[in-house]
């Protein structure tokens, strides 16, 4: 008997990249792929009491940025931990985020960057027109203008957190294909690259111009690796097209994933 037909299986089958296999279900950090809608909604959004007791400033940061980000607590705290890992391991280079929205996760990167440059890219007009691959794990097609936010929101949040005067934080407003190729030419090495542009074309331009700048041992975090098929496909294609092996990704939850660039 064949497996039951579902929309998710149908879409996954159509867009699955040959080099990609879904993460194994036995992994403790990964609750299954794709996660049903009700379970996604049940992911914790706020820091637990234990964090307030151990690291109150960190917990307060997560609460302050919460209205300014699409990342739930689990992914925000993982991003924080990855940035902190770069500091502890003294991985040289800047932190870069592609896709800022209202600036919540960008503020988390800025708060952990110490003396590193933090470079942030967004159109502030939302996502561009989607392509055929820009379908969610639930089968929803993306729309132009999704996740639109204003640069004033980001600047307001940075001001509220007293980070607005940090000369190392730079915002590049504009479409990725206009801003990233020229900015990449001026950029030094990257310790952490946060890919959060959702669509296939958006992720592709980031991978092409920024991935080569990530230092060996540096970290790449993709927030929509599980959720948007376009993100996953752009990343997988980058490696396939260059005859490189797809790195083994670590899953944070049903969608956030990260890997370390090969040493």
Ligand X SMILES: C[S@@+](CC[C@H](N)C(=O)[O-])C[C@H]1O[C@@H](n2cnc3c(N)ncnc32)[C@H](O)[C@@H]1O
For ligand X, the binding residues (CB under 6 A) are 69-71, 99-101, 104-105, 122-123, 126-128, 147, 149, 175-176, 196-199, 202
DSSP annotation string for 175-227? -HHHHHHHHHHH---EEEEEE---SHHHHHHHHHHHGGGEEEEEEEEETTTTT
Q: How many residues does the chain have?
A: 263
* Tokens of residue 2, six digits: 């064949």
Minimum distance of ligand X from residue 43's CB (angstroms): 15
For ligand X, which is the closer residue by CB, 60 or 217? 60
Minimum distance of ligand X from residue 206's CB (angstroms): 9
Look up residue 23 and give its DSSP letter.
P
* Tokens of residue 67, six digits: 């209205």
For ligand X, which is the closer residue by CB, 34 or 197? 197
For ligand X, which is the closer residue by CB, 114 or 144? 144
DSSP annotation string for 52-101? HHH-HHHHHHHHHHGGG-S--HHHHHHHHHHHHHHHHTT--SEEEEE--T
Minimum distance of ligand X from residue 42's CB (angstroms): 19
Q: Nearest-CB residue to ligand X?
A: 99
For ligand X, which is the closer residue by CB, 125 or 262? 125
Burial class (CB in 10 A: 0-12, 13-18, 19+), 61: buried
Minimum distance of ligand X from residue 88's CB (angstroms): 23
Structural Rg of the chain based on CA atoms: 18
Could you tell me if 134 and 229 are in contact, meaning their C-beta atoms sit under 8 angstroms apart? yes
Residues 6+ apart with CB under 8 A from 103: 65, 68, 69, 120, 149, 153, 154, 155, 157, 158
Phi, psi of 133, deg, nearest 5: -85, -10
Minimum distance of ligand X from residue 192's CB (angstroms): 13
Minimum distance of ligand X from residue 202's CB (angstroms): 3
Question: Token pair 């490696």 is at which residue?
Answer: 239
For ligand X, which is the closer residue by CB, 203 or 250? 203
For ligand X, which is the closer residue by CB, 205 or 249? 205
Minimum distance of ligand X from residue 171's CB (angstroms): 12
- The CA distance from 45 to 41, in Å, is 9
For ligand X, which is the closer residue by CB, 198 or 253? 198
């Amino acid at each position: 008997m064949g497996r039951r037909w579902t929309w998710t299986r149908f879409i996954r089958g159509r867009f699955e990249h040959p080099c990609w296999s879904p993460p194994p279900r036995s992994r403790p950090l990964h609750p299954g792929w794709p996660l049903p809608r009700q379970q996604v909604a049940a992911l914790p959004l706020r820091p637990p009491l234990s964090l307030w007791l151990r690291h109150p400033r960190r917990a307060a940061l997560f609460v302050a940025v919460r209205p300014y980000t699409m990342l739930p607590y689990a992914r925000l705290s993982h991003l924080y931990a990855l940035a902190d890992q770069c500091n502890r391991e003294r991985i040289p280079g800047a932190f870069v985020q592609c896709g800022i929205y209202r600036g919540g996760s960008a503020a988390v990167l800025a708060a952990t960057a110490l003396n590193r440059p933090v470079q942030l890219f967004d159109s502030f007009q939302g996502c561009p027109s989607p392509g055929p691959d820009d379908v969610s794990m639930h089968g929803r097609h993306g729309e132009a203008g999704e996740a639109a936010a204003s640069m004033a929101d980001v600047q307001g949040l940075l001001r509220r957190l007293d980070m607005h005067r940090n000369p190392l934080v730079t915002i590049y407003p504009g479409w990725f294909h206009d801003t990233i190729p020229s900015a990449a030419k001026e950029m030094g090495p990257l310790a952490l690259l946060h890919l959060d542009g959702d669509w296939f074309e958006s992720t592709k331009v980031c991978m092409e111009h920024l991935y080569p700048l990530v230092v060996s041992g540096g970290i790449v975090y993709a927030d929509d690796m599980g959720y948007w098929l376009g993100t996953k496909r752009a990343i997988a294609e980058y490696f396939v097209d260059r005859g490189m092996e797809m790195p083994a990704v670590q899953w944070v939850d049903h969608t956030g994933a990260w890997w370390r660039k090969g040493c």
